[in-house]
Structure 1
Amino acid sequence: MSERASYASDPAASRGRLYTTQSSPTRSEFQRDRDRIIHSTAFRRLQYKTQVFLLHEGQHFRTRLTHTLEVSQMARSIARALRLDEDLAEAVALAHDLGHTPFGHAGERALNEKMRAWGGFDHNMQAIRVVTRLENRYAEHDGLNLSWEALEGILKHNGPLIDAAGEPVGKYREEGLPAGLDDIPAAAGLMASTHASLEAQVAAIADDIAYNAHDIDDALRAGLIALDDLLDVPLVGPLVREVKERWPDIAQSRQAHEVQRRLITVSIEDVISESAAAIATAGVRSVEDVRAAGETLIRFSPQVARDERELKRFLFARVYRHETVMAPVRRSEAIVAELFDHYQAIGALPNDWGVAARSVDGAARARIVADFIAGMTDPYALEQHAQLFDGGGQLG
């Protein structure tokens, strides 16, 4: 790795962990964060959590785990080119989906609705709960005891939650701030009004790039769209024409892969070029300058940003709202809602979860129930629903 830039996060200057640990002779603090995340139970469960296409539909569609690995690889590539700390970018990327429910965003919508009276449900805040409270394998503490910088990145990789006056920003302006924001176990406050490190911003944009490229790939595999449907779609259309002109006679699956890899390359190269210019223009010299910059510095160029929004609109209309996707989505929302109502009513969770739920009520019980359901894999949620509701837990 080339010399780290002055505005990169430095593991040797970390703000530390909530619980003091001995330094490692072979790993940096951010490498230790990465390793703790990979070895967590929540990370392994991502293998059986939905990305877009639900698990019953086939073995070759992406899951939260494969998506997360793809995001982490892209994050490392971008971080390396910008002379940032690759390990912190990777750690944030690996953890960014740990708070997701079963059945993808459908499960999150259902759980958020059920939790509305108690502060709602937000998958970024749930990821914080996972890494600070719910992972309980260590002898000396709950959680993974991640560094301050990793926690900051997980919480704020999509930007600040509040402005300098303490008012919610972005989606939180309408939805309200997520429950638990003022009660995050960390070595210091996570400064919800500032931007996160460049490494965290890299993880966020890598997530967008992965979504675009790989959801196209999965949609083509599922037969929801054909390559020709993409010809007039900004960003990806020129790539489709290029591939079809150069290799007109190869199988569509191979053409699709060529389009996908070109889309990833074009997107990453645009981010690197635009971000390097933005960093130089902002004149940041340190990670604290980055936090105080008042803008996201890791970004697409204006033209690619516009094209990327158009691509997302296409995917939303033609893929995410396709009836093949929506029919099981509606059923999965009902399954999550029914599980929540059952568990909340009687606190009948298994093992220690049940003991904890029955000892409290109201908001405290609701949060325990939400934690339990959010940690479920798709198959486990279906299994539990079938047992409780006489075989009703089927999506198809």
Structure 2
Amino acid sequence: MDIRESLEDSERQFLSSHACLSSKSSGRVYPAKKCTIRTVFQHDRDRILHCKAFRRLKYKTQVFLSPVGDHYRTRLTHTLEVSQVARTVSRALRLNEDLTEAISLGHDLGHTPFGHVGERVLNELVPGGFHHVQQSLRVVDVLEKEGKGLNLTYEVRDGILKHSKGQGGLLTPDVHSRAKTLEGQVVRLADIIAYTSHDLDDAIRGHVIEAADIPNDISNLIGLRHSCRIDRMIKDLIGQSMIEDGSQIRLSREMDEGIRALRSWLFEHVYRAESVQSEFNKAAHLVRELFHYFCDDPDAFLQYGGRRFPGDPLEISVADFIAGMTDRFALSLYRECFLPQPWKSI
């Protein structure tokens, strides 16, 4: 018995009957030899962790555009916080932590520069629309490794595809939009637990709001401090999910309504705040101009590093290129494409 087989045996002995076992994975799109040391979900986690798209998350906006302060979240630190929350919940419920971690680390790989404003602009411009969830799956299926993709397991891909809630309900009754594994469902809630709390924390740090501005009904339920909010939300999720032997991932009705109320409040007072939106309006213009520039000049698109895959329309390739940019690369490229450059002698 090799190390992987020993780990798979440990999963069968210690994980919940509702957990997704590595040995029971539905497999990969392209058959691959199994590692002798890592389970398939550990292997997926490592493939994501070492890919280029993951490294670029450190220079992508979470809430504040290209923040100067050292302590503001970026898309990378958001991803790590989601992973921490999801793993804590999974361990308590005896679910598969490795699967949870892999989904968490890959869930935002398709996010655009400048946060959701970049996504909204591409959604307006790309035929058929654009959403970071589908783009995250496209990153791991197609774009990484020079078009070969990461060839992840079905369960990780399913969790990535179904992690987003938009502004809808936290717990969807629709089986088609809900992850097929409990681990994937945990990530969906871990995502909103992480971002509502840390976005609020960053907004206070950036003086967009004050702690006293938070409605009392929200702060009394969830708490004022970041650590308190995370603690209360996680404990509620674990406690409620333990009901009926852990066969369902859920929150109490009170906490579900409280998190949704906090999210709505953040949209009104933080995400759409004039002090935040003013710079994002400029970012939207930048993304729009780059998209049109490269669609109108395919040679320039290739010159600046764009790639075309067989059968892909130019607009899709341009969207792939822009979505993969970091904030700072997009800003630099815009200056190079649209602003006069100092003359250099030969």
1:84 is aligned to 2:114: no
Q: Retained in 2: the 8 A contact 1:100–1:123?
A: yes
1:338 is aligned to 2:289: yes
Give, as a single letter, the amino acid of the residue that structure 2 aligns with 1:133.
V
1:261 corresponds in structure 2 to 227
1:321 corresponds in structure 2 to 272
User: What does 1:116-127 correspond to in 2, within 5 Å?
Assistant: 118-127=127-136
SS in 2 for 1:45: helix
Q: Retained in 2: the 8 A contact 1:230–1:237?
A: no
SS in 2 for 1:204: helix
RMSD over aligned Cα atoms: 2.5
Give, as a single letter, the amino acid of the residue that structure 1 aligns with 2:144.
E
Deviations 1:10-30 (A, max 9, x none): 111111112222222221110
2:58 corresponds in structure 1 to 47
Identity of aligned residues (%): 45
**Aligned residue pair count:** 323
Distance 2:222 2:51 in 1: 41
User: What does 1:50-129 correspond to in 2, within 5 Å?
Assistant: 50-115=61-126, 118-129=127-138
Give, as a single letter, the amino acid of the residue that structure 2 aligns with 1:300.
L
User: What does 1:1-396 correspond to in 2, within 5 Å?
Assistant: 3-115=14-126, 118-136=127-145, 142-158=148-164, 192=176, 195-230=179-214, 232-235=216-219, 239-240=223-224, 259-277=225-243, 284=247, 297-347=248-298, 348-351=300-303, 354=306, 356=308, 364-390=313-339
Deviations 1:274-315 (A, max 9, x none): 1222665xxx5xxxxxxxxxxxx3222101111111111221
Deviations 1:120-167 (A, max 9, x none): 001110011100100015xxx7001111111111112348xxxxxxxx
Distance 1:102 1:74 in 2: 24
TM-score calculated relative to the size of structure 1: 0.76
Distance 1:27 1:74 in 2: 23
Consecutive unaligned residues in structure 1, runs of 5 or more? 160-169, 172-190, 241-258, 285-296
Distance 2:301 2:94 in 1: 47
Give, as a single letter, the amino acid of the residue that structure 2 aligns with 1:263.
R
Most deviating of 81-90 and 19-28: 19-28
CA drift of 1:350 comes to: 3.3
TM-score calculated relative to the size of structure 2: 0.87
Distance 1:154 1:114 in 2: 24
Deviations 1:90-135 (A, max 9, x none): 11010110010000000000111011xx210011100111001000
Distance 1:53 1:387 in 2: 24
Change (3 A) 1:194 1:221: closer
CA drift of 1:228 comes to: 1.7
CA drift of 1:231 comes to: 5.5
